[in-house]
A = this chain, B = another copy of it.
């Protein structure tokens, strides 16, 4: 390794360690911190974030990067080190394009605006929140102009979450998905065969739920020697190195669905991070490559595996073992059907596999229109409600159950929503590839053998870290660019069977 490259990597490692510490500070806040700690904790986060931002946008960091690039001139552009510099350059240029005044304004307004959103949602008061949302979109537009784009202002924003993704491409994706999902949703509603989910409700003692979720996430390959599971109001996954990847879940003593699927979802994220090669740790390549690819991992384990018939057959004996009374007389097939009930609803995070992407599409359309000015903030609630009715056939009774339900926009997270749907589509496409590569996949799942799935993901997704952009990764892993067809085919086959369409 050249001296310049080695110096640069050392500085990257220093920054990465500080970023990992910041993640620990946040993890503690969400899992352990006593109420009294809140005020100081805000200072902890602010101090560390400012320090990290200062170092990673400094001229001296830029010089180290430029020197390393000079040293590597002429190297194979697909070498790990060349890719590392490319990723670091992308991050650095993005971070330094924003004037520090704007970064500070965004941070300050994000805190205020989130706070107002919490109140607005509680009080169902969109009008009171509107000026804050308006300002947030103004600041975001300003940021997008600094970041630059070719075709659509949205491109400057989505690139932050899904490198290389473009508004046009996402727009085409939803144009393709929309009629198929609407049709499937309507066919299910019209089938007159609602699924009985009552089996999921009853007395499920939390201690027993813990035993089950621990068993399940261990079974799919999550390593507790390099992680742990705690409780959090909003389950999440975080990591402080590839060897300390923590998940959280939420327990409802009257409903088994939350803890089980939140655990599988977060374990899906965690398996990705636990599978990053050790040589990438604490480097710009040392994490999942995008939010969409990350979500493909969580959704693959949660849905493609976790809500499959063979998985229900694997899991059900364990559930009966833990909760003999409440599941008395029920069969694995009942459980399979119960966790796959489809019904259009108001809240995105509670949505089933079929309707989920319609929620996302609606948000994507609206944020595009708000950014270009085609839609005014004051017209947003009505636009939301009208589209809910058009796509899902339900109309929110108030804004708290409509446009005020998600935190994202209030926090300045604009251009992010499509990554949820990209994740779903990628999970379907990866699953198709896994099915081709692994013989007798259903039999393996039914006997609780998940190693072949994990090994495939390790070899084709995890081991690359951030080396490849999401588009490249999908192409390499599946042999073709991202398409919605595999996911639509998966949904159609699965729900045609369940609802006898």
Contact = CB atoms under 8 A, between A and B. Distances in A.
A21 B44 contact: yes
Contact of A244 (B33, B225, B226, B243): B33
A218 interface: no
Interface string A193-228: 000000000000000000000000000000111111
A32 B32 CA distance: 11
A28 interface: yes
Interface stretch (A11-19, A81-89, A389-397, A422-430): A11-19
A13 to B, nearest CB: 7
Interface stretch (A35-43, A116-124, A305-313, A365-373): A35-43
A10 to B, nearest CB: 11
A240 B41 CA distance: 8
Contacts of A18: 47-48, 51
A152 to B, nearest CB: 40
Given A18-B48, A40-B281, A47-B18, A34 B225 contact: yes
A237 interface: no
A21 B21 CA distance: 8
Contacts of A41: 240-241, 244
Given A24-B25, A25-B24, A32-B228, A241 B37 contact: yes
A375 B489 CA distance: 82
A243 B36 contact: yes
A37 to B, nearest CB: 3
A160 interface: no
Contact of A240 (B13, B40, B227, B240): B40
Interface string A280-321: 011000000000000000000000000000000000000000
B227 A36 contact: yes
B243 A37 contact: yes
A20 interface: yes
Interface residues of A, number: 35
A85 to B, nearest CB: 22
A381 to B, nearest CB: 39
Nearest to A37: B244
Contacts of A13: 43
A241 B40 contact: yes
Given A17-B43, A44-B21, A34 B226 contact: yes
Contact of A44 (B34, B39, B240): B240
Of A25, A37, A241, A243, the most chain B CB neighbours within 10 A belong to A37
A40 B226 CA distance: 11
B44 A243 contact: no
Contact of A25 (B21, B33, B35, B282): B21
Interface in A244-293: 244, 281-282
Given A28-B28, A41-B244, A282-B43, A48 B36 contact: no
A287 to B, nearest CB: 13
A115 to B, nearest CB: 20
B244 A36 contact: yes
Contacts of A20: 40, 44
A205 to B, nearest CB: 15
Nearest to A43: B17
A17 B241 contact: no
Contacts of A40: 17, 20, 240-241, 243-244, 281-282
Contacts of A241: 36-37, 39-41
B224 A34 contact: yes
Given A17-B44, A240-B44, A226 B24 contact: no
A143 B282 CA distance: 34
Given A18-B47, A37-B226, A39-B243, 17 more contacts: A14-B47, A17-B48, A18-B48, A18-B51, A21-B48, A24-B28, A28-B28, A33-B244, A34-B224, A34-B227, A34-B243, A35-B226, A36-B223, A37-B243, A40-B281, A41-B241, A51-B51
Interface of A: 13-14, 17-18, 20-21, 24-25, 28, 32-37, 39-41, 43-44, 47-48, 51, 223-228, 240-241, 243-244, 281-282
19 contacts: A17-B44, A17-B48, A18-B48, A18-B51, A20-B44, A21-B47, A32-B228, A33-B244, A34-B224, A34-B244, A36-B241, A36-B244, A37-B226, A37-B243, A37-B244, A40-B243, A40-B244, A41-B241, A41-B244
